[in-house]
A and B are shown apart, each in its own frame.
Chain A
Amino acid sequence: MQKVTQLPFEKPIYEIEDKIEELKNLSRDSGIDLSAQIDTLTKQAEEFKKKLYNNLQPYERIQIARHAQRPTFLDYVRNITTDWVEFHGDRAGTDDRSIIGGIGRIDDRPMLIVGTQKGRTTRENLEYNFGMPHPEGYRKALRLFKHAEKFNLPIVTIIDTPGAYPGIKAEETGQGGAIAKNLLEMAKLTVPVISVITGEGCSGGALGLAVANKVYMLENAYYTVITPEGCASILWSDASYADKAADALQITADFLLKSKIIDGIIKEPLGGAHYEPEVACENLKEMVLKGLSELDGLDEKQIVEDRYKKFRDMGEVKASLF
């Protein structure tokens, strides 16, 4: 595997690790036994890592969620499915590559898997439009949802998007309407739907694939009504207040679980999914299967009702006269 790119807040760890490497080289070149010092430093590094990664600030988690080496939709598909077949296009003129969908087996069970795809190279980013769908992407997803419903396949959506694309063509072909239509149609699906926010879960662009019976998040993923940068530029008139906005918006998995917006948190390897992608994939697979097993007893009507009730109850109001 290629070397992990470090994030700014990880600098202290890398400094200790460099030190350890130096001591090892010195020991080898000079023949002096430095194993005691190396052990101590190694232990210190481990302790420090645990402390750092278990106390991440929201904006640090966002940096992990956006890490260029974070597993993408296709990484998950490659790691957790067999017999995968991709289906293309919205049947109305477009195949939006920022949303990919197909059928594959997870643990032998065929299911529809749809998600947003991000790229790692410039060429890929152009192809996948940085994981920012146009209306045609949402319509392709909806076409596939209906396909799954017809053949009684469970649906899994895997979401990592900075939001629906804000552009001229996207407005002309009805970005708002396409997302709205998905919200409405997903509410009625008679098969179990499981959504996982794996990285960025921004705004209506994410929700348009996430009206699910079970919504899960990876430990360092974030789910928000607006990007912290967008929020900061409106409310603080300065996008550089994004860390403050990230705190205020409460976008982390633990808060969202406590608030019953999501149903579970998928553990990541220490430091984030990109350090051990296979582990993250395996954990995601386990959670998806657990969620499905919890829904397996429900008939079609109960599946719809379960989802409806979940979203009907969201929000906080009070009776008051100001």
Chain B
Amino acid sequence: MGLKEWLQSKKEQKNLDRPATAALIDDEVGKLWTKCYNCGANLPSKEVEENLNVCPKCGYHFRINATERIKQVMDLMSFKETEANLGSVDPLNFKDLKPYKARQKEAQNKTKLNDAIITGTGKINGESVAVAVMEFAFMGGSMGSVVGEKISRLMELAINKKLPVVIFTSSGGARMQEGIFSLMQMAKTSCAVSKLNENKILYITVLTEPTFGGVTASFGTLGDIIIAEQGARMGFAGRRVIEQTIRQKLPSDFQTAEYFLKHGQVDMICSRDNLKETIANLIRLHASKK
């Protein structure tokens, strides 16, 4: 191993060693100074933001919200939102320590979104796409009826307009508060992907920090091409559940993008600054006329 590789592997090791929970703390973007969870550097927030919310010192990818993602990926002024006013109901009248309705309200006020996803059409480096971006800040990006319905409608729209579909996932899994209706969104969205396939529509999924549970076990892993964003964690079961089940310590790189690349579950890892052109290039490579 050369010096460069050694340094690189040290850097990666550090990345992997960061506790899983650190990633779950809201990024402190918006304040004047941002502390990097990975290297500890104190950085001017503006500098981090201008660097796509990637630490300029160590390359750590801060979690970004759906609006910021759209801003970063879509060509200026090209994005047109669809189904923006589709909202959840409370089919089970669900209440745990708090009523579901109250949790919805809280999440809506926090994110200024109706639910945990934004869908629409627009361009990525000139290529027209139908796009969906999940919002982790809305109840952990959980998939309830609205997420399932908006993804289904987006895919139907893509078939009509013959647009490739790009979905950025970020989700803890199913929305428990919608019970079985939430589970059925896995079947619904997978059925929608089968229609995409029937119509030979290109479908790219970008798994971003974090993608777990019901999203991994449905449309998240059904892309023709699966990209993992650098630094993302992903998987079917959560780390804690697995540890409780098998009663042993998990490897430190468990469920990282690198781990899933090694095990053949994703096509590639892409850093944030390369994402836009990578997607555009893939679309162009698949656009050949018969």
CB-defined contacts of B263 to chain A, threshold 8 Å: 171-174
Chain B residue with minimal CB distance to A132?
Answer: B245
Does B24 belong to the interface (CB within 8 Å)?
Answer: no
Return chain B residues, CB-CB under 8 Å to A256: 180
Closest residue of chain B to A188, judged by CB? B194
Stretch of A69-77, A85-93, A98-106, A222-230 on the interface side: A222-230
Q: Is the CB of B214 within 8 A of A167?
A: no
Q: Is A250 an interface residue (CB 8 A)?
A: yes
Is B91 touching A259 in the complex (CB atoms < 8 A)?
A: yes
Q: List chain B residues, Cβ under 8 A from A177.
A: 216-217, 221, 265
Contacts of A320 in B (CB 8 A): 85-87, 114
User: Which listed residue, A165, A166, A244, A317, touches B89 by the CB 8 Å rule?
Assistant: A317
Q: Which residues of the partner chain B approach A248 to less than 8 Å between Cβ atoms?
A: 92, 94-96, 179
Q: Which residues of B lie under 8 Å from residue A207 when comparing CB positions? A: 183-184, 186-187
| Cβ B186 vs Cβ A183 within 8 A | yes
- Determine how close the nearest CB of chain B comes to the CB of A62; give it in whole angstroms: 14
Contact of A317 with B145 at beta-carbon distance under 8 Å, contacts A166-B237, A167-B245, A171-B235 already known: yes
Chain A residues bordering chain B, tally (CB within 8 A): 57
What interface size band does chain B fall in? 35 or more
Chain B interface: which of A14-22, A108-116, A283-291, A307-315?
A307-315
A166-B236, A315-B149, A316-B91 known; A211 and B187 CB under 8 Å?
yes
Q: When the two chains form their complex, are residues A204 and B183 in contact, meaning their CB atoms are under 8 A apart? A: yes
Cβ-neighbour of A251 out of B95, B180, B192, B255 (below 8 A): B180
Instruction: Check B92–A317 contact: CB distance below 8 A.
Output: no
A7 to B165, CA, bound (A): 52
Known: A225-B182, A248-B96. A315 touches B145 (CB 8 A): yes
B222 adjacent to A181 (CB under 8 Å): yes
Partner of B87, one of A187, A225, A322: A322
In angstroms, Cα B89 to Cα A173, docked, is 36
Q: Name the residue on A nearest B222 (C-beta).
A: A180
What 16 additional pairs, Cβ within 8 angstroms, besides A204-B183, A315-B145?
A168-B251, A170-B236, A172-B265, A173-B263, A180-B216, A180-B220, A187-B190, A207-B184, A225-B178, A234-B176, A248-B92, A248-B179, A250-B92, A307-B191, A308-B194, A314-B148
